[in-house]
Structure 1
């Protein structure tokens, strides 16, 4: 028997993201879930310090990293998966509905070179698909709503939920990005909350809700059922959808939305270099009526 997955979280304060190093205690094979590539939007500088920290921890423990796994194409940080792949040979995996996200955003950024078949990734996972990390059995759960392509990874009594849920005192993810759907999100959350109450849930983000002293990213199904401020204590689907739409209308776009999407739907790769050897990210410009020339 492999035993329970060993989980180590790495918090990135710049994006409030938690990446996870998940290892099989028997074989010491490991996966990295939602790795972060450090990116400074003011300078355009890219740095691999967050990936370095994960790889250093894997080295200390003697882990062999075989997967770099994404829960979805993130809109708030750039993926460090290609750097992990380059340094370890790990395969990059994501849900099969990334193809839908690629089709949505290809025209928005006029990314004429972007393939929309998901082939930039090494593996596209279907709902219910299972694969192994050493002796650990990993089950893929399709949990859309935040985006059309979100998945969660279930390993025994442990689930990595991506942006589907936050800590109970913070609630749930927004659904106003292209392809998002509040009703889908509610139903995805109910699927997670139907798991055994002792199931451990690991968040992809934490924003430290008012009144809480420290960041946190691990909770349980029981705690979410009882106390999630958006869906706990038996909130109905219609109540949730109304709340989510009202709340989403007040939210600003994430700081790294535009660069993140362009990179992450390519499995973390930047657009090809142009004839001067420089890679560029695009910023779509939309003129309001009173600003049009």
Structure 2
């Protein structure tokens, strides 16, 4: 398998591929990745750090939420804080790959505890517009991404310590999905799952199976030896352990939904048929409602209590 098959005409992908190659060759530093897996939501949150400068980013954090009781807690986020402090890390970034539909983001709480700039893809504005209407947020809700500190465009570069990083726009699961390439590691969010489990659904408002196919092919054009870290795992049939890390090359050759040789039409037909059988994620209503606000919980009403809405017969 060739080390890289970046298509012509995609300078952003070429930049990302070159960055990965330099890290793989040892010419630039590779990040240390510590993953915290939340089994309640099947979510992998990653703490990514530069071992030399001790600067760090937290990707896709989880705020614990009990839907039956309507209670939030911070056990998952507290484990991240404990790790950051024990390792002497300084958090520069709180990165979201998209507005999640299966868990609430802990980013605002983490920001209060350990700092960091909260960032997401610029297309969050489209997601805010769609779901702002669904939740009848009213004119006071600004769907301009201002709830976040930084909106990344495709190809925007940033650094974690001395480690170069770049944001890749990979729409399809939602219009706003980003992957983050950091040194030799690619954080793909929900776009891909482990090879034995396949790919993300594309039937949420604004999702698109054709876009998802092209986004996946874009990621699969990166160097084969790049580490690929995922946001979720659900244990494919026959597998007893949760796993959230693979490589671009393994996905390219073995992903059950979209390995090399699967055509766009075949993928779209499979994804459309599969999505039609899936129910809504159990936390989609609280998750999206909170996450389009950058993870901020609703303001207390005049009795001091916060409330979430449930739109009936919409989703």
TM range (shorter): over 0.9
In structure 1, the partner of 2:40 is 14
Structure 1: give runs of 5+ residues left out of the alignment: 288-293
Q: Which residue of the other structure, out of 124, 130, 155, is the alignment partner of 1:128?
A: 155
Q: What secondary structure is seen at the aligned counterpart in 2 of 1:75?
A: coil
TM-score (norm 2): 0.90
In structure 2, the partner of 1:168 is 195
Corresponding position: 1:52 with 2:78: yes
CA distance in 2, matches of 1:205, 1:195: 21
CA distance in 1, matches of 2:165, 2:220: 18
Does the aligned pair in 2 maintain the 1:19–1:33 contact within 8 Å?
Answer: yes
Q: Which residue of the other structure, out of 111, 119, 133, is the alignment partner of 1:107?
A: 133
CA distance in 1, matches of 2:194, 2:211: 19
In structure 2, the partner of 1:218 is 245
In structure 1, the partner of 2:105 is 79
In structure 2, the partner of 1:291 is none
In structure 1, the partner of 2:168 is 141
How big is the alpha-carbon RMSD for the aligned residues of Structure 1 and Structure 2?
A: 1.0
Q: Which residue of the other structure, out of 288, 297, 306, is the alignment partner of 1:270?
A: 297
Q: Which residue of the other structure, out of 229, 238, 249, is the alignment partner of 2:265?
A: 238
CA distance in 1, matches of 2:130, 2:121: 16
> Looking at both structures, which has the greater relative contact order when contacts are Cα pairs under 8 Å and sequence separation is at least 6?
2
Does the aligned pair in 2 maintain the 1:2–1:25 contact within 8 Å?
Answer: no
CA distance in 2, matches of 1:78, 1:233: 34
Q: What secondary structure is seen at the aligned counterpart in 1 of 2:63?
A: strand
Does the aligned pair in 2 maintain the 1:146–1:182 contact within 8 Å?
Answer: yes
Structure 2: give runs of 5+ residues left out of the alignment: 1-26
User: Per-residue deviation at 1:14?
Assistant: 0.2
Runs of 4+ in 1 over 6 A off after TM superposition: none
User: Per-residue deviation at 1:2?
Assistant: 5.8
In structure 2, the partner of 1:62 is 88
CA distance in 1, matches of 2:129, 2:187: 26
Q: Which residue of the other structure, out of 113, 121, 124, is the alignment partner of 1:95?
A: 121
TM-score (norm 1): 0.96
CA distance in 2, matches of 1:192, 1:282: 36
Q: What secondary structure is seen at the aligned counterpart in 1 of 2:82?
A: helix
Does the aligned pair in 2 maintain the 1:2–1:24 contact within 8 Å?
Answer: no
Cα 1:266–1:39 change in 2 (3 A) is same
In structure 1, the partner of 2:311 is 284
Deviations 1:58-105 (A, max 9, x none): 111111111110000000000000011111121100000000000001
Does the aligned pair in 1 maintain the 2:187–2:230 contact within 8 Å?
Answer: yes
Q: What secondary structure is seen at the aligned counterpart in 2 of 1:79?
A: coil
CA distance in 2, matches of 1:245, 1:2: 41
Deviations 1:145-194 (A, max 9, x none): 00000000001211000000000000000000000000000000000000
Deviations 1:117-140 (A, max 9, x none): 000000000000001111111100
